Structure 1
Amino acid sequence: MTSSSSPPPQPRRMRADAQRNRARILAAAEQVFAADGPSASTEDLAELAGVAIGTVFRHFPTKAALIEAVFVSRLRAITAYAREMAAADDVADGFFAFFTEAVRQSTIKHVFTDATDSGDEAMAAVWAAIASAGADLRDAMSELLARAQQAGVVRPDIATPELIGLMNGTARALEQVGPDQQGRQRILAVLHDGLRPRHGQVPSP
């Protein structure tokens, strides 16, 4: 008798209500951990999300898993935005829109990172798990930067690591001015001007 192997079972799709609960938990976790650090109460998180405590643990069995999910979700969203802007018809608008949004996201990330940087083994494992999502973001940023440089809208002597450094530094600068929106806009305007080609610079080949 000829035996045939059955196909491997397919993962079940998450129900719509479960997806909504997961999204609410992630949004609440970002706020609670940024405010209170990794020792924040899971009960407070569940209350803010509007779900039962058991629902939180069903989606995220450990606090480290929840922190990892928050970071990865943010990285994937900004990566998708970078790729979208790289394909935009107006690459200048796309590049500087991404720069502004990435700085905003970095400001939020710094608050969250500072709050959860406990240095223990569980958190070290979280940062290691996030590394691949960060690599995808760097690839997307490199693609966007290259297109902007080829179009002559960004100076050709800036590389991706330097761009990342500028974004992180700008995010820290915005933290210093706090809620002063005019001050924040002036800082971004200075950085945008500095990224544009100087007189006589030619696009990257």
Structure 2
Amino acid sequence: MTRALPYSAIAEIFSRFEAAEPEPKGELHHVNAYTLLVAVALSAQATDAGVNRATAGLFEIADTPRKMLDLGEEALTAHIKSIGLYRNKARNVIKLSRILEEDYGGEVPSSRAALQSLPGVGRKTANVVLNMWWGHPSQAVDTHIFRVGNRTGIAPGKDVAAVERAVEDNVPAPYQRHAHHWLILHGRYVCVARKPKCGACLIRDLCAYEDKTE
């Protein structure tokens, strides 16, 4: 495992991330808290671009739990069949929509525990919704953050939970709200899995990764 960077280096890294992109945004298209929740739930083992293509037409006709229930599982399945595990995801979206309609008045709860109680919603999905919609400094660790956290030394950890804790512990408080977006975007476009683009990396001099590319 890569050694953890000192606090001063991590602070400088996020200062550079902020200077380059002060307000990083998630790439899943949504129009409200409900469509964000559905989009994130659909994104498991799928790309954001693929989810956006599938939901472009869906969210025009079903942007609330009630409208999704009226649409029905069969029609929903037809909209998202290009996404991996689409049948199971369609069932979960209908189930969570029914719970939201019956137990929460059609609103998406702002509690992590309540969100995680919904079908198909795990901790990562809950953290994304809490962060993107309500601005909570929650850290949703996906494959990009896990890789970047370990490779750079920003947030090393043996599993997702350990990396999440490391981000919370190591990243200075002023950067916590946007930390997971900066790390995701860095992993998606620069610190890629097979051959990181170290020559174009704005934190190359601070990164603990030893096998840097040109």
Specify the structure having the higher radius of gyration (Cα).
Answer: 1
TM-score, normalised on structure 1? 0.23
TM-score, normalised on structure 2? 0.22
